[in-house]
């Protein structure tokens, strides 16, 4: 799943669901290991997307400040 097609909200909701399922019951390693793995994948994708957004915000702020400084 590329970051362009990754839906942050849907990914976050899926991760929340996985966490709730794993916290709400006794863990069965065979059954729950794929859920745990998927949760880690989602967490990584979410973190990557947040970093991309943070970088965009920093660039927007920089451009704004440069424009205002030139005025």
User: Is 62 a domain residue?
Assistant: yes
- What local confidence, expressed as pLDDT, does residue 34 receive? 97
Q: Tens digit of pLDDT for each residue in 26-64?
A: 989 899 999 999 999 999 999 999 999 999 999 999 999
- What local confidence, expressed as pLDDT, does residue 71 receive? 67
Residue 14 predicted with pLDDT over 70: yes
User: Is 3 a domain residue?
Assistant: no
Distances (CA, A) of 8 to 37, 47, 48: 18, 10, 10
- What local confidence, expressed as pLDDT, does residue 61 receive? 95
Q: Structure pTM?
A: 0.77
- What local confidence, expressed as pLDDT, does residue 36 receive? 96
The number of distinct structural domains making up the chain is 1
Closest CA to 1 of 55, 34, 35, 48: 48
User: Is 23 a domain residue?
Assistant: yes
Which tokens go with 15? 């991760």
User: Is 33 a domain residue?
Assistant: yes
Q: Which domain, by its residues, includes 41? A: 8-70
């Amino acid at each position: 799943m590329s970051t362009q097609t990754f839906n942050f909200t849907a990914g976050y909701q899926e991760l929340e669901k996985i966490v709730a399922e794993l916290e709400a019951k006794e863990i069965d390693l065979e059954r729950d290991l794929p859920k745990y793995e998927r949760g880690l994948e989602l967490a990584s994708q979410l973190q990557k997307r947040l970093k991309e957004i943070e970088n965009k915000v920093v660039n927007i702020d920089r451009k704004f400040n440069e424009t205002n400084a030139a005025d």
